[in-house]
Amino acid sequence: MFLNQPSIAGMTYRTTVALLVSLLASSAQAQTTSASGPEQQVLRVCQDPNNLPMSDRQEHGYENKIAELFAKKLGWKLEHAWWPQRMGFIRNTLQAKIPDTDTYKCDVVTSVSPNFEMGLATKPYLTSTYAMAYVKGKGLDSIHVPEDVLKLDQTTRKKLRIGIFTGTPAADWLIKNDLSDLMVSYQLQTGDPDQYPGQIIENDLATGKLDIAIAWGPIVGYFAKRTNGVPIEVVPFQFRNDGIQYGFGIAMGVRHGQRQLRDQLNALIDSSQPEIRAILEEYSVPIVSTPPATKS
């Protein structure tokens, strides 16, 4: 009645062999881990190499600092791919692979709209607004809110040169308030990688080529502190019901299908609010709580 039962000796032999194989495999795995360590995950980020205060190749921008913070919290290695944030940025970064590999140049871009359509957007990690700037002591010190420009005497107002970027809320504000004849227009994207929006403040406003400049608040706040001692007053546009949207949320973008990475970034945005705010304050970024909806 024991014919169908394995012998104790045979069972012991097979068990011993299996145990030895298992121990050898574990030993080999331990040696591999000890020699090279577990493969470290990588946070691959694409950013503009010359677009302060957001980012630059030397990693001096606030988006560089936030990416560094997130990589540190994840325990991942941080790698960059650089491309000017102009037409074709996403096509050449988030959607592009490193030649002769299946690896994308990056998995995250750090400055997109929450309505980003070319991938998945995170929740906003900052919300800022457009801002006006002028040199103090030049007859414009009575401007504390943008509408104060309209209260200047006629002679002073008619001589103003107000620099704005075309296609932005600044241009809409000038047109709405019948100030378009004072407008000095700049192109937001010139195609020249050596040019950057902050030049409107640190060059043209500081040297007197312009009397007033209106631009995206983080640009104005940052470059107003970097004009070689020329005192610049910054006047953010607050929310108002005039049909123009001045405030915008800024998010990160990942490729379609990367929901897990998007969710990880969202969790980091939530848990890192004190650190993010400290970084933005260091760069004099005007912060607002909620972007206004465009009036229909």
In tens, the pLDDT along 206-248 reads: 999 999 999 999 999 999 999 999 999 999 998 888 899 999 9
Tell me whether residue 14 is in a domain: no
d(CA 176, CA 160): 17
Identify whether the C-beta of residue 46 lies closer than 8 Å to the C-beta of residue 52: no
Q: Tell me: do 108 and 153 sit in the same domain.
A: no
Identify whether the C-beta of residue 157 lies closer than 8 Å to the C-beta of residue 149: yes
Give pLDDT, residue 142: 97
* CATH number for the domain harbouring residue 156: 3.40.190.10
pLDDT digits (tens, 9 = 90+) for 244-285: 999 999 999 999 999 999 999 999 999 999 999 999 999 999
Does the pLDDT value for residue 43 go beyond 60? yes
Give pLDDT, residue 107: 96
Does the pLDDT value for residue 160 go beyond 80? yes
Tell me whether residue 55 is in a domain: yes
Got the DSSP string for 236-280? EPPP-SSS---EEEEEEEE-TT-HHHHHHHHHHHHHTHHHHHHHH
Does the pLDDT value for residue 35 go beyond 50? no
Give pLDDT, residue 240: 80
Q: Which of 173, 170, 184 is nearest to 150 (CA)?
A: 173
Q: What is the mean pLDDT of the chain?
A: 86
Give pLDDT, residue 289: 75
Q: Tell me: do 90 and 160 sit in the same domain.
A: no
Rg (CA), the chain: 28
Helix (H, G, I), strand (E, B) or coil at 28: helix
* Domain interval for residue 211: 127-236
Q: Tell me: do 156 and 60 sit in the same domain.
A: no
Q: How confident is the model at residue 24 (pLDDT cuts 50, 70, 90)?
A: very low
Tell me whether residue 69 is in a domain: yes
Identify whether the C-beta of residue 287 lies closer than 8 Å to the C-beta of residue 217: no
Percent of the chain with pLDDT over 70: 83
Tell me whether residue 24 is in a domain: no
Does the pLDDT value for residue 12 go beyond 80? no
Q: How many domains does the chain have?
A: 2
Worst-scoring range by mean pLDDT, 25-39, 184-198, 221-235?
Answer: 25-39
Worst-scoring range by mean pLDDT, 28-37, 70-79, 150-159, 170-179?
Answer: 28-37
Q: Tell me: do 133 and 221 sit in the same domain.
A: yes
Q: Tell me: do 59 and 154 sit in the same domain.
A: no
d(CA 78, CA 84): 19
Identify whether the C-beta of residue 293 lies closer than 8 Å to the C-beta of residue 245: yes
Q: Tell me: do 151 and 202 sit in the same domain.
A: yes
Q: Tell me: do 157 and 229 sit in the same domain.
A: yes
Q: Tell me: do 255 and 119 sit in the same domain.
A: yes
Give pLDDT, residue 66: 98
Phi and psi (nearest 5°) for 271? -80, -15
> What tokens appear for 141 in the block?
């010190």
Q: Tell me: do 258 and 209 sit in the same domain.
A: no
Highest-confidence segment of 8-12, 99-103, 194-198: 99-103
Q: How confident is the model at residue 140 (pLDDT cuts 50, 70, 90)?
A: very high
Does the pLDDT value for residue 23 go beyond 60? no
